């Protein structure tokens, strides 16, 4: 009986993995840019510097090279502005915020090496809300920083996917 359960479990796992691959599912890896756009320069016109760092890190995982000089880049991603905001969604009876909304907003554009606009002024916004437990203030401030870090990572990935979509057209 025990062998039969193990066999069925193994069989079901194999069938599930085959179904997932058959439908085209795969884990999201680094964003790969077309071969003719392998050198990317990230320019920060106005921002916090957080997205530039994250973009540089994610480009390092891909086959694209991060250009040190703007003149040597095939593609220039300009971060025009970057901002974070925190808004209170609900208050406790004592008047302290118990639910917060975190917003991360980025404006950017993309140019080719000649300065032609490939992607005009774009706005990306992410919003997350979370419960702010007032009995664990230190832990919650760490959680807020972690949520912002995750938002930066996802924003960089989304931005690179937009760039790839424009470059492959």
- Summarize pLDDT for 136-154 with one digit per residue, the tens: 767 667 888 899 999 999 9
Q: Quickly state the pLDDT bin for 125 (edges 50, 70, 90).
A: very high
> pTM for the whole thing?
0.76
Predicted confidence band of residue 5 (pLDDT cuts 50, 70, 90): confident
The two three-digit tokens of residue 4, written as one number? 């039969």
More confident residue, 93 or 153: 153
Does the pLDDT at position 26 exceed 50?
no
Nearest 5 degrees, angle CA 165-CA 43-CA 161?
20
Check whether domain 30-168 has CATH 3.30.160.150, yes or no: yes
């Amino acid at each position: 009986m025990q062998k039969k359960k193990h066999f069925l479990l193994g069989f079901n796992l194999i069938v599930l993995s085959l179904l997932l691959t058959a439908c085209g599912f795969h884990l999201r890896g680094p964003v790969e840019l077309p071969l003719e756009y392998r050198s990317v320069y990230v320019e920060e016109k106005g921002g916090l510097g957080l997205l530039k760092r994250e973009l540089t890190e994610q480009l390092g995982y891909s086959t694209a090279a991060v250009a040190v000089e703007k003149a040597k880049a095939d593609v220039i991603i300009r971060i025009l502005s970057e901002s974070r905001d925190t808004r209170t969604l609900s208050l406790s009876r004592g008047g302290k915020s118990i639910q917060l909304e975190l917003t991360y907003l980025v404006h950017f554009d993309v140019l080719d090496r000649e300065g032609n606009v490939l992607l005009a002024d774009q706005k990306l916004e992410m919003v997350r809300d979370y419960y702010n437990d007032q009995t664990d203030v230190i832990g919650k401030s760490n959680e807020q920083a972690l949520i912002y870090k995750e938002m930066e990572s996802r924003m960089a990935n989304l931005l690179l996917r937009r760039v790839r979509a424009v470059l492959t057209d």
